[in-house]
Structure 1
Amino acid sequence: MDVGLSSAEFFYGTTLRIPGEFVLPDDFRPNLQIFLEEFREHMRSMKSVPVGHHGNKRAFLHKDLNSCSHVFVRVGPGKKSLERPYTGPHKVVMRTSDRVFGIEVNGSSRQVSVENLKPAYFLRNDIVNLATTNSKEKTATNVVPVQ
Structure 2
Amino acid sequence: MQHVRVIPTLLLKDWGIVKTVGFDAETYIGCPINAVRVFNANDVDELILLDILATQEGRTPDPERVTQIADESLMPIAVGGGLRSVASVRQMLACGADKVVLNSAAIEVPELVRDCATHFGSQCVVVSIDARREAEGWQGPDPPWHHHHRTRPPSTGE
For normalisation by structure 2, the TM-score amounts to 0.22
- Asked which structure has the greater RCO (Cα within 8 Å, sep 6+), the reply is 1
More helix by share: 2
Q: Which has the larger radius of gyration?
A: 1
For normalisation by structure 1, the TM-score amounts to 0.23
